[in-house]
Amino acid sequence: MNSITPNRQQSINAAIDKECPVCHCEMVLPTAIPACGHKFCFICLKGVSIAALGGCPICRGPIDAGIFEKPSQSLNLKMVLTDSGAPSTSNATDRDVKQEPVDEDVKPDVNALNAAMNMPAPSKMYWLYHGRQQGWWRFDPRTEKDIEEAFVSQMPITEVTICGQSYIIDFAKMSQYPKTQRGSTRHVKRVDSDEFDRMNIKGMAGVYAAT
Amino acid sequence: MAGQLPRRIIKETQRLLADPVPGISANPDESNARYFHVMIAGPDDSPFAGGVFKLELFLPEEYPMAAPKVRFMTKIYHPNIDKLGRICLDILKDKWSPALQIRTVLLSIQALLSAPNPEDPLATDVAEQWKTNEAEAIKTAKQWTLSYARQ
C-alpha cells in the first residue's frame, strides 16, 4: 500500500495545507508524489495525472499511478477551509497596508470563528456524490462551496471542475454528469450535519477516511 | 452556461495587476477574463530594445491543465517567432506544466527576446539569416523594432 501523505502530519487539520501549485488555493487533501515529495491537492494531482502532462508539475519526475488506487488519509470528514476561497491579494500589497489598531468593539462572527478553527458552522450543509458501486462521498470542500452557492442562489444547474474535468450539477434531478458525456450520471445529495453523521460517508473526493 | 471563472485565474489576475513583472503588462479584456492584452518591452540587451511589443494571451477552458495560447500581435524579426506571431517555446507546447503560470510564461517570452535561438527556428528564413550573418540579422531586427514596435 502506498502512503500518499508524509507521516509527519497527524493533526485533525492534516487535510488542509498551504497553497497548491496547481489551483493556487489552500491545499485540500495534500498528496505527495512518492518519488519527489512535491505536494498538491489530491484532485489537482489526479487531474495532472489524467491530463498526462509529463509527470510532476514542479520537477517533471514520475507520478506513481498507484497513489490513486484506494487512497486513504487521516482526515476530518467535516473539515472546512480556512481560506474563504476568495482570492487573496498579493504579499506585495499586503505589506503595503498600514496596520490599523484593532481595538474597536467588533462583534464576533461565529461562522468566521468556526472557520478559523476549522469547525463547521452549525447550519453548514454538505454535498455528497454517490460512489460508482455504493455509498456516498463528500465533495472536496471547495467544490462543495461552489455547489452550495449556486444552489442557494437558485441556479437550475452549475458547472464545476474536478480533476481538470468539467461536470454539470443538475439541482432539479440532483445529479452530476460530465459536461461532454451525459451518460455517466451520478446522484448527488445535500445533507445537514446530523444526516451526514448517520450516513457512514466513505471519504472525500475519492480519498477514503482512514480508520 | 458558462462556468465560473476558476479561482486560480482570479488570483493570478489579481497578483499580476498588484505586482506586475518589470517591463511587462498584462490586462484582462473587459468582456473576457480569459483573454489578456499583453505588452512586453524589448529587453535593453537585445535588438528589440526601445520597442514595445503587443501580444495576446488566452487561457483555454482546460487551463491550467493546458498551456495558455500566446501570440505576438506586433511584427517582430526573431528566429523563434513567425510572421503570424506564433512563438516557438517549449513551455507553450509539450513542456507545459500546471505549476507554470501567466507570469512565468511572459518572463520566458521576455527572455526569448534576449536570447534568440536560430538552432530551433520557427521562422526559418530569419533563422538562416541569423546563422549566416548575425550582424545583418540584428540590424534588421532593430529596424523592425523601430518601424513596428515604437510606443
Per domain, the residue ranges of chain A are 8-69, 126-209
Question: Residue B147 pLDDT > 80, yes or no?
Answer: yes
SS3 B54: strand
pLDDT-derived band at A6 (thresholds 50, 70, 90) equals very low
Does A53 touch chain B if contact means CB atoms closer than 8 Å? yes
Over residues B33-47, the mean pLDDT reads: 97
Give CA separation, A202 vs A5, A84, A185, in Å. Answer: 18, 25, 19
Average pLDDT over residues A92-105: 45
The pLDDT of residue A89 is above 90: no
The pLDDT of residue A92: 38
A33 touches chain B (CB under 8 A): no
Which of B17, B15, B42, B6 lies closest to B150 in space, CA to CA? Answer: B42
| Amino acid A81: pLDDT | 82
The answer to whether the CB of A31 falls within 8 A of the CB of A67 is: yes
Nearest to A81 by CA among A160, A27, A9, A44: A27
The per-residue pLDDT for A98 is 44
pLDDT at A187 over 60: yes
Which of A17, A13, A39, A37 is CA-nearest to residue A28? A17
pLDDT band at residue A41 using 50, 70 and 90 as cut-offs: very high
What is the domain range of residue B32? 7-149
The overall average pLDDT reported for chain B is 93
**Terminal Cα-to-Cα distance of chain A (whole angstroms):** 15
**Residue of A4 and B77 predicted with greater confidence:** B77
How do residues A11-40 score in pLDDT, each as one tens digit? Answer: 334 445 589 999 998 899 999 999 999 999
Q: Does residue A105 surpass a pLDDT of 50?
A: yes
Name the residue among B88, B19, B26, B18 with its Cα closest to residue B54. B26
Q: State the DSSP code for A176.
A: E
Q: Which amino acid is at B107?
A: L
Residue A3 has pLDDT above 50, yes or no: no
Report yes or no on B88 lying in a domain. yes
Please report how the helices B124-132 and B134-148 are oriented relative to each other, as an axis angle in degrees rounded to 10: 130
Backbone angles phi, psi at B106, to 5 degrees: -70, -35
For residues B82 and A39, the answer to whether their CB atoms sit within 8 Å is no
> Count of domains in chain B?
1
E-assigned strand segments in chain B: 24-28, 35-41, 52-58, 69-72
- B-side interface with A, Cβ within 8 Å? 1-4, 6-8, 10-12, 14-15, 18-19, 61-62, 64-66, 94-99, 101
> Does the pLDDT value for residue A121 go beyond 90?
no
B83 lies in a domain? yes
In this predicted structure, the answer to whether residue B22 has a pLDDT above a threshold of 80 is yes
A8-69 in CATH: which number?
3.30.40.10
> Which residues in chain B have their CB less than 8 angstroms from residue A54's CB?
94-95, 97
Which of A21, A53, A160 comes nearest B65 by C-beta?
A53
Known catalytic residues of B are: 88
What pTM does this model have?
0.80
Q: How confident is the model at residue B47 (pLDDT cuts 50, 70, 90)?
A: very high
pLDDT of residue A112: 66
A90–B98 CB contact, under 8 Å:
no
CA dist A43 and A60 (Å) reads: 18
- Picking from B62, B64, B99, the nearest residue to A58 by CB comes out as B99
Question: pLDDT per residue over A145-184, tens digit each?
Answer: 999 999 999 999 999 988 888 899 999 999 999 988 777 8
Mean pLDDT lowest for which of A107-116, A157-166, B66-75, B107-116?
Answer: A107-116
Q: Residue B2 domain-assigned? A: no
CA angle A29, A33, A38 (to 5 degrees): 85
Contact A21, A58 (CB under 8 A): yes
pLDDT band at residue A132, thresholds of 50, 70 and 90?
Answer: confident
Segment B42-51 shows an average pLDDT of 96
Taking an 8 Å cut-off on Cβ atoms, the answer to whether B8 and A23 are in contact is yes
Q: What is the pLDDT of residues B86-137, one digit of tens each?
A: 999 999 999 999 999 999 999 999 999 999 998 888 888 899 999 999 999 9
**In chain A, what percentage of residues exceed pLDDT 70?**
74
Assess if residue B37 is contained within a domain.
yes
pLDDT value of residue B3? 58
pLDDT of residue A114: 62
DSSP category for residue A147: H
Q: How many CA atoms lie within 13 A of B151 on its CB side?
A: 8
β-strand partners of A160: A167
- Residue A190: what pLDDT? 97
- Is A51–B1 a contact, with Cβ atoms under 8 angstroms apart? no
A24 interfaces chain B, CB cutoff of 8 Å: yes
CATH number at residue B54: 3.10.110.10
B32 belongs to a structural domain: yes
Distance from CA of A197 to the nearest CA of B (A): 30
The CATH number of A126-209 is 3.30.720.50
